[in-house]
Amino acid sequence: MSERLKETGRQIRMYRLALGMSLQEFADRIHKSKATVSKYENGLISVDLETFFDISAALGVAPAKLMALPKTVGDSAVSGGRQSRQYLYSYARRGSQVTRSVLDHYSGEQGNLDVTFFYDVPSFEHLEKCRGIYEGSMSKEGPILNYQFVNRRNSTEHTFLCCLESLDNNGYNMGLLSSISYTTMTPNAIKVILSPVQLAETEELCRLLTFDKEDIQRLKRDNMLTVDRR
């Protein structure tokens, strides 16, 4: 069993579960048996080209994302694969805990990157258990990173993320994630940290993710919610 076959099966299963789709529903959509689909997801059998594109259409995912091994420098065998992964952290005071999310970046058009956003995952090993899955794009202008997403489970929800690259060498970027809260039906924005590596979930991380007195002072002074990039 090749690593490529296993990874493709894992990607198919991850997207299916993240979208809340049962094995039977998915099998019906691509006109295959549950047993056959299970073998696809476990990397036990190859997927023919026609079925592969049927799977892509059923999941609403670009074909490259289903066979996306992490791209390594000089490895032409995985061109079009995942370009990078970013770990996004926010802080939910209601639960007094850090919320973990993942942004997977893929080659896009006109210099942009296609991005899949797995919001609120229990662990970075189980993205399929995310509370929400979003598809969108990222553009970069100088030190500014702009993301736009649409909720795959509820297309009326659009989410935006804006980050400024850090001026120092702390390795992460601060930003704001904004959308409409479907709990209160009001616009909202939360402070987030975007990092190329996993961060220790310490009290210091929680402090960085919490709006502090300086943030509130700037809000009162400028009537604008902003965050320091450090």
Domain membership flag for residue 230: no
Domain membership flag for residue 12: yes
| pLDDT tens digits for range 138-188 | 999 888 999 999 999 988 889 999 998 877 657 899 999 999 876 667 888
Given 37, 66, 95, which residue is the final one in a domain? Answer: 66
pLDDT at 205 over 70: yes
Sequence letter at residue 136? G
pTM, two decimals, is: 0.88
Domain membership flag for residue 111: yes
Domain membership flag for residue 73: no
Contacts of 207 (CB under 8 A, 6+ apart): none
Which has more confidence, 137 or 225?
Answer: 137
Quote the CA–CA distance of 83 and 81 in Å, as a whole number: 6
- The CATH number covering residue 52 comes to 1.10.260.40
For every residue of 87-138, DSSP letters joined together read EEEEEETTTTEEEEEEEEEEE-STT-EEEEEEES-SSTT-GGG-SEEEEEEE
41 & 136 share domain:
no
Which has more confidence, 218 or 30?
Answer: 30
47 & 152 share domain:
no
Domain membership flag for residue 45: yes
Q: Is-contact 47 53, C-beta < 8 A?
A: no
- The CATH number covering residue 150 comes to 2.40.128.30
| Residue-number span of the structural domain to which 39 is assigned | 3-66
Looking at residue 72, what is its pLDDT? 47
Mean pLDDT, the chain, integer: 87
Q: Is-contact 193 208, C-beta < 8 A?
A: yes
Q: Is-contact 154 135, C-beta < 8 A?
A: no
| pLDDT tens digits for range 76-133 | 334 456 889 999 999 976 667 899 999 999 987 777 899 999 999 999 999 999 999 9
Quote the CA–CA distance of 22 and 16 in Å, as a whole number: 7
Domain membership flag for residue 209: yes
Domain membership flag for residue 74: no
